[in-house]
Structure 1
């Protein structure tokens, strides 16, 4: 009996060791004032082919949240043949006013710091592509809420204009695609017919924090110091349709901001299907409407939910 217990303990230790190896915590950037980490998940079986990479940016209003929020979707993707990493980034809005009573330049700086950290993580994997067996032509970016806003701006902001560090990205670099949960972009004109990439967007059309359509951040009045116009998932979807882009929109009818992470946390298959379809070179334009049993004044404006 004693020997059986020892064998069981050894097996448990071996399994625990294998599980620990699935997740690596890596410092992807460090200077005199800043140290940034990520959790990397890789497929258990080594691949002869280079791996597509998915980077995840957590939510939290640029003031809170933690990279561990992305562990579940990252682990799921690693189990399905992807390298996946969830990032810590600069929470510039921490201890600052970030709603209607905030300062507009400070809001934009919060976006910029997060975007730059995502660019730093991208540069890290490009520089270390051989070490981690990464296919740098297949880097996808994903995020929820503030993370969704981050990936949208990382994909379409002018890198040379908005970069804050000495890192570089290849001149012809473009992300392979993005997934945004309850995200928005400051200017639809940033997305052009030439730079568009495949997108999966999901959003509650009753979201009172980040607009589903086009409205001010937090629906602030126009005289607010923190007034910032945003174009949410529905506006981006329609813009991509007009530009003949590849796009998939999931609308949670009546849903609020609580649905911002739903397809990362509770129903991960659509995320995997999107990535696999893009990898296969498929083009699609679809809108999936998901009832929630909720309704409010914002969602009532969208009659396809009736």
Structure 2
């Protein structure tokens, strides 16, 4: 019994020591201070560590970067660094729904994206200090965080960045992982800009459209009406471009599945990251979890 207890303690201590969490400020001015939590694996070699930058969800009005600690620890345990960032909650106290103001909703996204670019720049500048591989940076997020990820990947940061233009010339994220996110303009995803993607979405999401539709299902005459292209629209765009994408669809599911990849589906993320880094080419396809009924037929998904 004593040997078993000692073995349990040794394994537990090893798991604790296998990851390290560092909290640091990546951006600060007269009005705002933004931090990130950096989850680092314990490295025994000098090999640089690929990085996943994560943005939480919350409609640009709430949420905490610390809510995804389990995801950060899981990826660090498997040899990857994760930076979970805070970003400006511009819509706090404002209406991000149908009665809101369209320009304010777009501004909230732009501010969040600019914060993401600032965090990326900070981590690139400090890559050597934390043994990070600046050429292998993934971007990821849930809901509003996924919208940040989409736009940070495909907007022109020289035009859209609200801060200084400080990313390296021709910088490109190596892959995107998004839960129930969307992009404002599907045509931003071109053959030249496309990166491998892993997405998850419920096909009955009334908050962020699964395909093309209005944010929060707002009517066209609403002041906050905003057209968005969700995961399935992105899937079709990537498929037409013959680019790599995996989409996990929850038939009949709503916005409650936005965090699936970072909670229950962490192994999907790990496999995706491994495949991208190995240069594996996978055909665009939809994954329907075994407990959900549906079938993919050509360009349309039929959920039963």
Q: Same fold (TM over 0.5)?
A: yes
In the other structure, the counterpart of 2:77 is: 79
Aligned-pair distance for 1:20? 11
Query: Are the equivalent residues in 2 in contact too, given 1:289–1:305 (CA < 8 A)?
Result: no
Aligned-pair distance for 1:113? 0.9
Number of aligned residues: 291
State yes or no: 1:64 paired with 2:33.
no
Query: Are the equivalent residues in 1 in contact too, given 2:51–2:82 (CA < 8 A)?
Result: yes
In the other structure, the counterpart of 1:280 is: 278
Rounded Cα–Cα distance in structure 2 between residues aligned with 1:29 and 1:19: 28
SS in 1 for 2:41: coil
Change (3 A) 1:294 1:89: farther
Aligned-pair distance for 1:45? 2.9
Rounded Cα–Cα distance in structure 1 between residues aligned with 2:193 and 2:106: 22
Q: Tell me the alpha carbon deviations over residues 225-254 of structure 1, each in whole angstroms, 9 at most, x when there is no partner.
A: 000000000000000000111111100111
1:195 corresponds, among 190, 193, 196, to: 193
Change (3 A) 1:30 1:206: same
Let me know the Cα RMSD of the aligned residues: 2.3
Listed as ranges, the gaps of 5+ residues in structure 1 are 1-7, 296-301
After TM superposition, list the pairs within 5 Å mapping 1:35-46 onto structure 2.
35-46=33-44
Aligned-pair distance for 1:31? 1.5
Rounded Cα–Cα distance in structure 1 between residues aligned with 2:54 and 2:143: 12
Q: Name the stretch that deviates more: 198-207 or 285-294.
A: 285-294
Rounded Cα–Cα distance in structure 2 between residues aligned with 1:116 and 1:40: 19
Judging by fraction of residues, say which structure has more helix.
1
1:98 corresponds, among 96, 99, 112, to: 96
Query: Are the equivalent residues in 2 in contact too, given 1:254–1:294 (CA < 8 A)?
Result: no
Aligned-pair distance for 1:48? 1.6
State yes or no: 1:33 paired with 2:31.
yes
Aligned-pair distance for 1:34? 1.3
State yes or no: 1:176 paired with 2:211.
no
Query: Are the equivalent residues in 2 in contact too, given 1:57–1:70 (CA < 8 A)?
Result: no
In the other structure, the counterpart of 1:142 is: 140
Q: Name the TM-score, length of structure 1 as normaliser.
A: 0.90
Query: Are the equivalent residues in 1 in contact too, given 2:212–2:229 (CA < 8 A)?
Result: yes
Query: Are the equivalent residues in 2 in contact too, given 1:40–1:85 (CA < 8 A)?
Result: yes
Aligned-pair distance for 1:303? 5.5
Rounded Cα–Cα distance in structure 2 between residues aligned with 1:21 and 1:242: 40
Rounded Cα–Cα distance in structure 1 between residues aligned with 2:44 and 2:251: 42
Rounded Cα–Cα distance in structure 2 between residues aligned with 1:25 and 1:35: 13
Aligned-pair distance for 1:165? 1.0
Query: Are the equivalent residues in 1 in contact too, given 2:183–2:228 (CA < 8 A)?
Result: yes
Aligned-pair distance for 1:197? 0.5
Aligned-pair distance for 1:274? 0.4
Q: Name the TM-score, length of structure 2 as normaliser.
A: 0.90
Rounded Cα–Cα distance in structure 2 between residues aligned with 1:116 and 1:291: 38
Aligned-pair distance for 1:70? 2.0
In the other structure, the counterpart of 1:289 is: 288
Listed as ranges, the gaps of 5+ residues in structure 2 are 1-5, 295-299
